[in-house]
């Protein structure tokens, strides 16, 4: 008789969730309590455990499915004895097949694991990164592979452990400091700005600081003003830092690997809303993406939409909608915020003559403002319309769901801004 695995609820209010990923496949043997899948809502992620031991007979809801109702059967487990281990050859052959899709979370984990295997001086330090497998589960499994010496659980003490990381970098180690969220990095701002970013310059080149500060940045849902904010511009303001904010899984992986190998301090801004998102997996054994190079995520001739991180997804959706109205938008994924790849932006604007800059952060002194100013200075004659900015509203993040939605840039906002640069009615 088959046991049904049901879509679980994270809270009494939860009605639907997303099935992010299957960790087991049909035909695989599982013990009761094994994690078979991952689900998420806007608020959190959760692991789904097998309700009984046996072989997964059938997967009923595919990976990536959105709006899966609570208590929907998602898989059937047939009661069966554990089969004998398959011959080794078969196991190897299976490993050679790259997965077709990869979540940003797994991409980051792969990048960390690969770099830690490659260089014994790389270590990860942060809150709950080890035994608890990471608050956002980016470091899942790393403590098991690399042990507590290299996956270091730190007490809640951002100021000191950021400084400790910089000191370890002085001594030649390659620290990856995880902030549970960049909201807490403000406690560590002194060491990021005054110790990490400036030492190379102040020492006349004698002492470099090769360190990565990483973690989720930007808005997550329903957590209020202190836990939902985008600090991209704050870090991008500081000379001596490199600042990276990827969108896709392949870029997240390739850029994190590059960041860890970089001899400079790198701020690596992840996005809570992207962790569970699936993207085509990168091919190749050592996938590296250079820091400082933007990517044209979608080609177009009519308008350039410049975005980064979660905003790229909004820009791509807006571009699809605009295409229905025969407006071909070019979407530039900045990928790196410092140094800014102005050459790619200028090249695109030379072609389109119009630019919409998308920035989840606050409008004053933001990334979008910087792009707007630089275009005014460097491409004034190419512009056929003023640069338009689509940014977060100039307010602390409200908690109420409706207000929160109004505070953040949306696909519709981008469409309206694009039409404004084209002098079209909206």
Partner 1 sequence: MAASPYEPQDGESRLAAFLGDGGDVAVYRAMLLIRRFEEKAGQLFGMGLIGGFCHLAIGQEAIVVGMRLAARETDQFIASYRHHGHLLASGADPRAVLAEMMGRRGGISGGKGGSMHMFAPELDYFGGHGIVGAQASLGTGLAFANAYRGDGRVCVCFFGDGAADQGQVAESLNLAARWRLPIVYVIENNRSVPGQEGELARRGAAFDIPGEALDGMDVDAVRAAGTAAIARARAGEGPAILEMGAERYRGHSLADPAKYRRKDEPRAAAAPDPIERQRVRILDAGQADEALLKQVDAEVRAIVADAAEHAAQSPEPVAAELFSQVLM
Residues in contact with partner 1 by the rule CB under 8 A: 123, 149, 154-155, 157, 159-173, 190-191, 194-195, 198-208, 239-240, 242, 263-264
User: Closest distance between partner 1 and the C-beta of residue 339, in Å?
Assistant: 8
Distance CA 392, CA 377 (A): 24
- Closest to partner 1 by CB, 164 or 278: 164
User: Closest distance between partner 1 and the C-beta of residue 261, in Å?
Assistant: 12
Q: 115, 158, 270, 330: which one is catalytic? A: 158
Active site residue 227: yes
Active site residue 40: no
Distance CA 330, CA 346 (A): 12
Question: For residue 1, with 0-12 CB atoms within 10 Å meaning exposed, 13-18 middle and 19 or more buried, which class applies?
Answer: exposed
- Closest to partner 1 by CB, 60 or 189: 189
Quote the radius of gyration of the chain (alpha carbons, Å).
23
Classified as helix, coil or strand, 229 is: strand
Q: 49, 57, 128, 227: which one is catalytic? A: 227
User: Closest distance between partner 1 and the C-beta of residue 229, in Å?
Assistant: 23
User: Closest distance between partner 1 and the C-beta of residue 371, in Å?
Assistant: 21
- Closest to partner 1 by CB, 41 or 195: 195
Contact 105/142 with Cβ under 8 angstroms?
Answer: no
Query: Within 10 Å of residue 299's Cβ, how many Cβ atoms?
Result: 12
Element of type H or E holding 174: strand 174-178
| Phi-psi category of residue 273: left, alpha or beta, with phi > 0 → left and psi -120 to 50 → alpha | alpha
CA atoms within 13 A on the CB side of 233: 18
Contact 259/268 with Cβ under 8 angstroms?
Answer: yes
User: Closest distance between partner 1 and the C-beta of residue 341, in Å?
Assistant: 15
- Closest to partner 1 by CB, 155 or 284: 155
Distance CA 186, CA 180 (A): 12
Distance CA 269, CA 273 (A): 12
- Closest to partner 1 by CB, 236 or 408: 236
Taking CA atoms, 288 is separated from 62, 146, 256, in Å, by: 30, 22, 8
- Closest to partner 1 by CB, 207 or 395: 207
User: Closest distance between partner 1 and the C-beta of residue 336, in Å?
Assistant: 12
Taking CA atoms, 79 is separated from 52, 276, 288, 316, 334, in Å, by: 7, 31, 44, 45, 50
Point out the residues that are catalytic.
158, 227
């Amino acid at each position: 008789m088959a046991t049904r695995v049901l879509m679980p609820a994270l809270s009494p209010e939860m009605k639907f969730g997303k099935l992010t990923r299957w960790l087991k496949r049909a035909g695989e043997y599982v013990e009761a309590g094994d994690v078979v899948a991952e689900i998420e809502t806007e608020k959190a992620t959760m692991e789904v455990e097998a309700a009984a031991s046996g072989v997964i007979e059938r997967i009923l809801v595919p990976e990536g499915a959105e709006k899966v109702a609570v208590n929907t059967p998602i898989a059937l487990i047939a009661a069966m004895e554990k089969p004998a281990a398959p011959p080794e050859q078969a196991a190897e052959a299976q490993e050679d097949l790259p997965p077709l899709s990869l979540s940003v979370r797994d991409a980051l984990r792969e990048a960390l694991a690969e770099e830690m295997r490659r260089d014994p001086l790389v270590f990860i330090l942060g809150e709950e990164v080890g035994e608890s497998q990471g608050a956002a589960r980016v470091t899942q499994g790393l403590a098991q592979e690399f042990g507590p010496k290299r996956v270091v659980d730190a007490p809640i003490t951002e100021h000191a452990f950021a400084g400790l990381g910089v000191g370890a970098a002085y001594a030649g180690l390659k620290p990856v400091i995880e902030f549970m969220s960049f909201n807490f990095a403000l406690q560590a701002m002194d060491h990021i700005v005054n110790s990490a970013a400036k030492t190379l310059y102040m020492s006349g080149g004698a002492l470099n600081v090769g360190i990565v500060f990483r973690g989720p940045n930007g808005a997550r849902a329903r957590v209020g003003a202190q836990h939902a904010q985008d600090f991209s511009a704050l870090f991008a303001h500081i000379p001596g830092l490199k600042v990276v904010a990827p969108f896709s899984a392949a870029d997240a992986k390739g850029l994190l690997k590059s960041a860890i190998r970089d001899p400079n301090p790198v701020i690596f801004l992840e996005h809570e809303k992207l962790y569970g998102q699936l993207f085509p997996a990168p091919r190749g054994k050592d996938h590296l993406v250079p820091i400082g190079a933007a990517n044209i995520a979608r080609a177009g001739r009519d308008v350039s939409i410049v975005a980064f991180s979660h905003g790229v997804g909004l820009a791509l959706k807006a571009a699809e909608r605009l295409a229905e109205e025969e407006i071909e938008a070019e979407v530039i994924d900045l990928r790196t915020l410092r140094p800014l790849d102005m050459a790619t932006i200028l090249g695109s604007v030379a072609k389109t003559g119009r630019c919409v800059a998308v920035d989840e952060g606050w409008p004053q002194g933001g990334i979008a403002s910087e792009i707007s100013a630089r275009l005014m200075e460097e491409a004034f004659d190419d512009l056929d319309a003023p640069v338009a900015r689509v940014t977060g509203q100039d307010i602390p993040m409200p908690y109420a769901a409706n207000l929160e939605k109004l505070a953040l840039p949306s696909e519709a906002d981008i469409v309206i801004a694009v039409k404004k640069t084209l002098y079209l009615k909206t």
